[in-house]
Amino acid sequence: MNLLIIGSGGREHALAWKLAQSPRVEKLYCAPSSDAISLLAERVDLNPVDFAGIARFCAAKAVDIVVVGPETPLAAGIADGLKKRGVPVFGPSQSGALLESSKSRAKEFMFRHGIPTAKSETFTKSAEAKRAVNSASLPVVIKADGLAAGKGVRVCAARGEALEAVEDFMVRRVFGQAGRKVLVEEFMTGREVSAMAFCDGTTCVPMPFARDHKRLLDLDKGPNTGGMGVYSPLPDVDATLAADIQTQVFDRFVKGIREEGIDYRGVIYAGLMITAAGPKVVEFNCRFGDPETQAVLPLLESDLAEIIAACVEGRLSPELVRVSHGACACVVLASAGYPELPESGKPVFGLDKLEGLRGVTAFHAGTKKTPPAWITSGGRVLAISAKGADLPDAVNRAYDAASRVRFEGMHYRRDIGKTL
């Protein structure tokens, strides 16, 4: 089997790392790739939204399946564009990707199909959104409708904060067209769970549940980020809760896409809040999470290439998704200035000290190779993942490994997986 991965970040590095282990994979390509990914997959100079160019490459290289990592090409319709050219894709159609690229569309879908979620109103005029804020209970959540790299959500404890968020999103357009609509949403309390599942359009099979740490600083302080660390599985998700998530979220999701004729073959990611009333969906993502992937894939015993083929061919079954015992923790090493103005070009030291550490993998999110050294090239630089016999063991291994790496301005949270 020949596969082409679309993407260039830490999530795609983890996908390449896992797919490279498959005996089914003869040749692995990646576009636009990165210096780290190119050690596992042949780098290809392709534009992720040039569907005709990608299709020509796939025909020339006998690529069997295109595996799409990021949300942007999915929202642009890469699955539709390639499928009509005869190229199978692991990733939902554009109508499926709307469940991530438009939070208002996702809310409407959830309301239609009885998927539990927070109360919410959508606005296209800032004055109307501000009126809703002035009458809302506090805290209140303000969301930009479109894609904003995981930063378009603000939880506001004060009314002035919420009004400022509306102004930022709708008037100042800090996230461009993503803020043309905003959602004013009920604040939910509870425990957060990242629930990812493989989907072939008729069946959803969950992966181990994970917990992401979105805030920049310890104790969930500071601004939201793309994710500062994650651990899996979750000791506080028992069999009863897992069954509730399956029946109330994934089963209803599958029923909904079938009723609406949405072609969905890929990963559905439900960001959940476990409230006193049970699990509720905060948001849907239409692809593997980042950095959740870097903690979940090390726990997957199954052949990822086989699962991907099963999703594309419509033959997914629970037996295909086997998970190892133990736990995995992932700590993100970030640049100074992240998330607003991250510094780059700083030499990275100590990666050689991770070689030979059992169960430890450094996934590169924002690095470049300038032989013989690696340098930083983004806000989230590395995701240090470690498997352990249990969660405390995995956390200790991840932090031990992280302490061996350094670059100027490096910072990371010290409480990943240490609090429930």
pLDDT tens by residue, 211-220: 999 999 999 9
Return the percent helix, strand and coil in the chain, to nearest 5.
35, 30, 40
CB 120 within 8 A of CB 79: no
- Average pLDDT of the chain is 96
Does pLDDT of 420 surpass 60?
no
- Return the structure tokens found at 98: 């709307």
**How far is the CA of 95 from the CAs of 79, 146, 177, 312, 314, in angstroms?**
10, 14, 19, 17, 18
With CA atoms as reference, report the closest residue to 332 among 6, 13, 5. 13
Q: What percent of the chain has pLDDT above 90?
A: 96
Region 168-192: mean pLDDT is 95
pLDDT tens by residue, 183-196: 999 999 999 999 99
**What confidence category does residue 419 fall into, taking pLDDT thresholds of 50, 70 and 90?**
low
pLDDT tens by residue, 296-342: 999 999 999 999 999 999 999 999 999 999 999 999 999 999 999 99
Does pLDDT of 59 surpass 70?
yes
Q: Which pLDDT belongs to residue 115?
A: 98
Region 270-292: mean pLDDT is 97
**How far is the CA of 113 from the CAs of 106, 125, 223, 320, 331, in angstroms?**
11, 27, 33, 28, 36
How far is residue 249's CA from residue 116's CA, in Å, rounded to a whole number?
7
Region 74-86: mean pLDDT is 97
Q: Which residues contact 277 (CB under 8 A, 6 or more apart)?
A: 116
Pairing status of strand 327-334 against strand 229-232: antiparallel
Q: Which pLDDT belongs to residue 150?
A: 72
Does pLDDT of 158 surpass 70?
yes
Q: What percent of the chain has pLDDT above 70?
A: 100
CB-hemisphere CA count at 13 Å for 290?
26
Domains of the chain: 2-94 (3.40.50.20), 125-180 (3.30.1490), 191-320 (3.30.470.20), 327-402 (3.90.600.10)
- Return the structure tokens found at 186: 């009920």
Q: Which pLDDT belongs to residue 190?
A: 95
**What confidence category does residue 22 fall into, taking pLDDT thresholds of 50, 70 and 90?**
very high
Q: Which pLDDT belongs to residue 152?
A: 87
